[in-house]
Amino acid sequence: MPAQALIVCEHCDTVHRRVELAPGAAARCHTCGGPLYHRSRLELNAMLALTIAGIIVFAVANAYPLVTLSSQGIRNEAALWQMVASAWNSHIALVAAIAALTVFFFPLLQLALYAYILLPLSLHRVPRGFAAAMHLLRQLRPWSMVEVFLIGVLVTIIKIGSLADVVLQPGIWSFGVLTALLTALAGFDTRELWQAADEAQR
Amino acid sequence: MTAELRAAALHLVSCDACSLVVNESTAAEHPGHCPRCHEVLHRRKPDSLRRSWAYLIAAAILYIPANLLPALHTTRLFGRSDDTILSGVVELWQDGSWDLAIIVFTASIVVPLLKIGVLAMLLITTQRGSTWRQRERTRLYRIIEFIGQWSMLDVFAVALLVTLVHFGAFARIEPGGGIIAFGAVVLLTMLATKSFDPRLIWDAPAARPPPRTDQHHD
Ligand SMILES: [Zn+2]
Ligand SMILES: [Zn+2]
């Protein structure tokens, strides 16, 4: 039996035989109830489109401020990089590092890796260093926190909205769109890309 | 226990990186490495319980300053106030924003405590080789793995407040040491969760001697 015909549950180590699933269906482990795999008709072009849209929206999200706050005739604005800088200047370097890495560098690297992997694969070619790129992509996943950032910013805006004059800027809408795009991308099982690479090499 | 086949018993290893199932006895040119993606093959996450305990204990210790030290110092014309993470939630509630209070309370208080408690329970039961409610314990693990990063919410909130609220003498918000400890707690609990291997929950029955009743059937 070829090894690809089997799948092992990552939560309890039970061996399962892969079966063909109906579209939209998902296989669950019947020992522990955890998710095993789902029918991903690996739509490379859809993933690629999401990635390219993500890169554009990422740029817009960082080019504009998120929100402005006016009080006593003074108007302050906040963009992501301004938040990183003021956290750094307020001696909370850990907070500055968390914001810079989990909201800027990791998501950007994630999008860049997706583009690097998906572009050649959609042309049935395997990019150089495919394995290394795939490993990095997998490790980045839990450390990209754009959606948490978005909710944190929204909660804060509502909180201070009663105290001062808050105006939403294009940055916040872009982060909303970016969250949706990254969530859609995360819905694809990247492990299936290994299968696609195997087929491209043949 | 059901008669399910487990990979370890069949000398099969599933690659963590690409999920290829590899037969240990026929491992090809590079023993111990995945033939497809060249990642090192592990039957279980290396040193899982010890690493997970170390991160968890560090998180539990830092949880104390994270809640006792102020996360924010607010200076207004009429004076100065210090807020811890919990007093910030209480203030939201008193202002009538009970919906926000619930979001922040869940993300900042409930989730970290739940993670520390659940992980400690999983580590203790797993170390004892317990077969108690394995399915539910595995599900709890998946839940804390999923909700882990949401506790960062308050860290981003503080970064935004510090950036926006600086109006000279009228109003100013500065961060306190509590938020640094809190950020560290969230990172450490995430690392503790990632280090724990849920497959160890299911290794328990095999490691135990068979039930004693067997002796009487001869
Ligand atoms: Zn399972
Ligand atoms: Zn592999």
- Domains in chain B, please, with CATH? 1-43 (no CATH), 47-203 (1.20.140)
Which H/E stretch holds residue B166? strand B166-167
Residue labelled with tokens 């830092």: B62
Question: What is the pLDDT tens value at each position of chain A, 202 positions in all?
Answer: 444 688 999 999 999 998 888 777 888 998 999 988 876 666 888 999 999 999 999 999 999 999 999 987 889 999 999 999 999 999 999 999 999 999 999 999 999 999 999 999 989 899 999 999 999 999 998 899 999 999 999 999 988 887 788 999 999 999 999 999 999 998 888 877 888 888 887 7
Say yes or no for a CB contact (<8 Å) between A153 and B160: yes
Structure confidence at residue B28 as a pLDDT band (50, 70, 90): low
What tens digit of pLDDT does each residue of B171-180 get? 889 999 999 9
> For A158, which residue in chain B has the nearest alpha carbon?
B100
Q: Report CA(B93)–ligand 2 centroid distance (Å).
A: 50
> For A80, which residue in chain B has the nearest alpha carbon?
B160
Per CB-CB distance under 8 Å, the chain B contacts of A82 are 163
- String of DSSP letters for B27-41: --SSTTB-TTT-PBP
pLDDT value of position B216: 43
> For A71, which residue in chain B has the nearest alpha carbon?
B167
Determine the distance in angstroms separating the CA of B82 from the nearest CA of chain A, rounded to an integer: 16
- Touching check for A169 and chain B: CB below 8 Å? no
Please identify every residue whose CB atom is under 5 Å from ligand 1, which is an ion: A 9, 11-12, 14, 29, 31-32, 34
pLDDT value of position B8: 86
Pick from B7, B150, B163: CB nearest A82? B163
> For A14, which residue in chain B has the nearest alpha carbon?
B6
Nearest ligand atom owner, CA of B39 = 2
Pairs across A and B, CB distance < 8 A: 203
The DSSP bridge partners found for residue A27 are A37
Pick from B4, B19, B198: CB nearest A191? B19
- String of DSSP letters for chain A: --GGGEEE-TTT-BEEE-----TT-EEE-TTT--EEEE-----HHHHHHHHHHHHHHHHHHHHS-SEEEEETTEEEEE-HHHHHHHHHHTT-HHHHHHHIIIIIIHHHHHHHHHHHHHHHHHTT-PPTTHHHHHHHHHHHGGG--HHHHHHHHHHHHHHHHTTSEEEE-HHHHHHHHHHHHHHHHHTS-TTHHHHHHHHHH-
Say yes or no for a CB contact (<8 Å) between B167 and A82: no
Pick from B5, B152, B159: CB nearest A87? B159
From the candidates B2, B10, B12, B19, which should be mutated to test the interface with A, based on the most A CB atoms within 10 A? B19
Both tokens of residue A30? 């019947």
Q: Is the pLDDT of residue B207 over 60?
A: no
Residues A84, A79: Cα–Cα separation, whole Å:
9
**B190: DSSP letter:** H
Entry pTM: 0.90
Domains of chain A, residue spans: 1-39, 42-201
- Please work out, in degrees rounded to the nearest 5, the angle formed at the alpha carbon of residue A88 by the alpha carbons of A84 and A92: 110
Q: CA–CA distance from B168 to each of A15, A135, B74, B165 (Å)?
A: 64, 48, 12, 9
